[in-house]
């Protein structure tokens, strides 16, 4: 499981690069246009993904700040957001390297922004949720881009493994 999660951290970084590269081809107006995704625009969706990662990493290892809401705007520009994204992806990969199998089996307890009260889950389930959450919202990013007439993104895990991620096979 540990190798699997480390691979997902690397895949997550790679997939984020694909989305940000596609976003770089948009005008500011397109980047900020509400396209009906859960967080509206590509800007809102990418901000949300970074907010969620910061929340989860704070829950996992106590690092970083805790945004006040799930739609907190961490940066107004794509360039600024991408810089924060790269740093967070490095943080996730570095943290994954510190874990062992015993650590993944431990329960964590946290409080959700959305509902009061303590929530306790095994760390491995919370880590899997974090990566699954990325897949969900990157799918929305893909929808936003294709609804603008932009090219489809190839974000498949197997594509990553056959290209930049060969060392995981």
In the annotated binding site, the residues are: 48, 133, 137
- Within 27-162, where are the H helices? 28-32, 42-61, 78-98, 101-105, 123-147, 157-162
- Alpha-carbon distance of 110 to 60, in angstroms, equals 9
* Cβ neighbours of residue 122 closer than 8 Å, sequence gap 6 or more: 104, 105, 106, 107, 108
Binding site residue list for a divalent metal cation: 48, 133, 137
> Contact, 163 vs 40, CB < 8 A?
no
């Amino acid at each position: 499981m540990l190798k699997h999660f480390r691979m997902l951290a690397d895949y997550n970084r790679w997939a984020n690069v694909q989305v940000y590269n596609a976003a770089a081809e948009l005008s500011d107006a397109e980047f900020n246009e509400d396209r009906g995704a859960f967080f509206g625009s590509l800007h809102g969706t990418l901000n949300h993904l970074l907010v969620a990662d910061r929340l989860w990493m704070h829950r996992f290892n106590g690092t970083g700040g805790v945004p006040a809401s799930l739609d907190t705007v961490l940066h107004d520009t794509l360039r600024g957001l991408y810089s924060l994204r790269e740093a967070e992806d490095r943080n996730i990969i570095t943290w994954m390297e510190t874990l062992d199998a015993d650590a993944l089996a431990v329960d964590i307890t946290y409080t959700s922004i959305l509902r009061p009260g303590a929530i306790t889950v095994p760390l491995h389930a919370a880590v899997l949720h974090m990566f699954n959450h990325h897949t969900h919202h990157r799918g929305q990013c893909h929808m936003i881009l294709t609804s603008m007439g932009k090219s489809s993104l190839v974000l498949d895990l197997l594509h990553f493994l056959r290209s930049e991620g060969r060392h995981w096979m």
